[in-house]
Amino acid sequence: MSAPEELLDIRRLYRLPWSKNDNPNGWIEITTHCNMSCPGCYRGCDRKDGSERHLSMAEIEVDLQRLIEVRNCQTITISGGEPLMHPRVLEVVELVRRKGLSSLLLTNGKLLTRDLLTALKHAGLTGIIIRVDSLREGVRQSESDLDELRQEHADLVRSVGGLFLGFTCVIDKTSVAQIPGVIRWQQSHGRDVDFLLLILMRDPHVLREKAASPDQRGWVQLDELCGEIKARIGDLTYTAYLGCQADDAQIKWLYSIWFSLDERVLGYVDERFLELVQVFNHLVEGRYAFISKKSDYFVSLPMLLLLGLVNKSMRAICRRFLAAVLRRPSLLFTRAKMQILNIVNPPKLIDGKRDFCDACPDAVLYRGELHPSCALDEIRERMGRTDPTA
């Protein structure tokens, strides 16, 4: 078994217990308007035949209530289009807060200002994920060149304070070798960056038309990406996964979680740690965990020691924390920081059918029923309705 295959052996990973009706994430797309036209956009913002529309507050409230009823969600992810273009986005965030849920906003960041971010925070926003990568519309820079833009966003979010921060990076053959550098950048900015989402490039329109093979399109497979990461970050290990509806052995969502101190990685958690977190959260809160407020990702030494009593990987992390304190006693009262890496392997075709994610966390409501958000345009067309107002 090769190194990437061994890393991705599902027997060594925790299968996240999420299901269609007990899923920590509720996904809502409040607009199809966007100020960018990125290749392969799932919502068709790169197509000239698409129509644009903002959902009304009444429609949004109906969808939110339905998601709460059928998903048992802990977080509402607010997406688009570009959600910051919705004229009532602050009211949407406030509505989610009133429902007692965390809120996560996905944006390309072009409209972000300190005043807007402050207003979103006051409305109840829990976190924000910003897309920065070399495949965005108009970008002609390498991933390392884009670290400056990531830093600008991180500085802005830090200036407001208290918001969970993540970045999205879409990957194809032209950028896959640069991705370990993006992960290293995340690890070296542990105080500011909580989350990194890596998405393998797929084009839903090409999939429908079967116009080209993955190799012809420059698509990257999951084992290729993990091989690149292993070659550059040899100690990185994976923790949990979500499977595939069409292929029992395929991984669609893959997680790695680690703790850092003073911008240095202390160690990676094992599958039992995340199982403990998920089961405990469901036992206490009645829902599985997805994201939390920023402060929850900072963990004191006493709490680490407590976790070390029940988990082997946490004991190793505690030992490295104490070793760091012996070298620098001033670190004794510094809290370790938990960071998350999430790799998403979007649907492709298997025997002419889409291999959708098992227990899709990003399912969206259409006509009152849940469908994978990445295939919503296709589903509309299959139902004979391409108008998003339908």
Assess if residue 390 is contained within a domain: no
Instruction: Supply the pLDDT for residue 7.
Output: 66
On whether residue 132 sits in a domain, the answer given is: yes
pLDDT in tens, 327-370: 999 999 999 999 999 999 998 776 767 788 999 999 999 888 89
Predicted local confidence at residue 51, as pLDDT: 72
Report the pLDDT value the prediction gives residue 265, as an integer from 0 to 100: 98
The reply to whether 91 falls in a domain is yes
Contact 11, 249 (CB under 8 A): no
Range of the domain at 151: 3-9+23-382
Residues lower than pLDDT 50 in the chain: 1, 209, 385-390
Residue 362 falls inside a structural domain: yes
Q: Where are the alpha helices (DSSP H) in the chain?
A: 3-7, 57-71, 89-98, 114-123, 147-160, 179-187, 204-209, 214-217, 222-232, 271-285, 301-308, 312-327, 376-382
Q: Is residue 17 in some structural domain? A: no
- Half-sphere exposure for 176 (CA within 13 Å, toward CB): 20
338 and 346 Cβ atoms separated by less than 8 Å: no
- Predicted pLDDT of residue 218: 84
Q: Which of 165, 161, 164, 196 is nearest to 180 (CA)?
A: 196
Is the full-model pTM beyond 0.85?
yes
Question: How many structural domains compose the chain?
Answer: 1
CA distance 124 to 93: 6
CATH number at residue 90: 3.20.20
Kindly state whether residue 367 falls inside one of the protein's structural domains: yes
CA distance 206 to 186: 32
Residue 14 in domain: no
Q: Is the peptide bond before 81 cis (omega within 30 degrees of 0)?
A: yes
pLDDT at 46: 59
Residue 389 domain-assigned? no
For the beta carbon of residue 194, count every other beta carbon within 10 angstroms: 26
Question: Beta 14-15 vs 240-242: how paired, if at all?
Answer: parallel
pLDDT given for residue 388 in this prediction: 45
Could you report the per-residue pLDDT of 4-58, keeping only the tens digit for each?
A: 556 688 999 999 999 999 999 999 999 999 998 877 677 666 566 567 889 999 9
Q: What pLDDT does residue 335 have?
A: 98
